Amino acid sequence: MERAMPLSAWESFYVIVGSSGAALTGLQFVVMTLIAADDQRQSRRAEVGAFGTPTIVHFCAALLVSAIFSAPWPAISSAALALAACGGAGVVYVAFVIRRATRTVYKPVLEDWIWHSVLPLIAYALLLLASLLLVRDPGPWLFVIGATALLLLFIGIHNAWDTVTYLAVERPREEDTPKKRS
């Protein structure tokens, strides 16, 4: 028989992480709506797919990890399987994000590659690895999964702020760009 789930000590942690992920997801929707309402130019779908949508995915992934660890699983292996699916899907998703980022009008700088590609890839790969090793020795891998959930939140917070500051401060407005003469 499998050991009982050692997750009860983590309950408060995942309530905080999950609530934060849910609240920040909602806030990101509000921010994107305000930006779209204020912007006279049509947002580029490729940029939103490469830099906006992944922020929501990372917040929701932190929420999903929290929900998985809050569910009353009959065995830790069931939770580990659900987490492995989340980590594997995240790795595949980041590969799509990287592809999208290379096809945008905006050309990402090193900081963009780190925060939008490298760190999310590390987070989802760690989630996958930790979930595969969770059944063997839950102690250290519970900390890795907790750190991964926090990393996904911090990535989302950074990327949301980066997007907002770019749109509000750095991106040239239509009235600021010289018009071509016919």
Quick one: pLDDT band at residue 21, thresholds 50, 70, 90? confident
Asked if residue 28 belongs to a domain, the reply is: yes
Say how far apart CA 9 and CA 1 lie, in whole Å.
21
Domain membership flag for residue 4: no
User: Stretch 56-60: mean pLDDT, rounded?
Assistant: 89
Are 124 and 20 contacting, i.e. CB atoms less than 8 angstroms apart?
no
State percent of the chain over pLDDT 90: 37
- Tens digits of per-residue pLDDT, 78-129? 999 999 999 999 999 999 999 999 988 888 899 999 999 999 999 999 999 9
Q: Which domain holds residue 113?
A: 10-168
The secondary structure of 66-121 as a DSSP string is HHHHHS--SSHHHHHHHHHHHHHHHHHHHHHHHHHHTTSSS---HHHHIIIIIHHH
- Asked, for residue 182, whether it belongs to a domain, the answer is no
Residue 177 domain-assigned? Answer: no
Provide the number of structural domains found in the chain.
1
Per-residue pLDDT of 143-165, as tens digits, reads: 999 999 999 999 988 888 887 77
User: Could you tell me which residues come within 8 angstroms of residue 2 by beta carbon, excluding any fewer than 6 positions away?
Assistant: 75, 76, 77, 135
Torsion on CA atoms 50, 18, 36, 176, rounded to nearest 10: -70
What pLDDT score does 60 carry? 87
Examine residue 54 and state whether it is found in any structural domain, yes or no. Answer: yes
- Does the pTM of the predicted model rise above 0.85? no
Say if 87 falls within a structural domain: yes
Residue 1 lies in a domain: no
Higher pLDDT, 43 or 182: 43
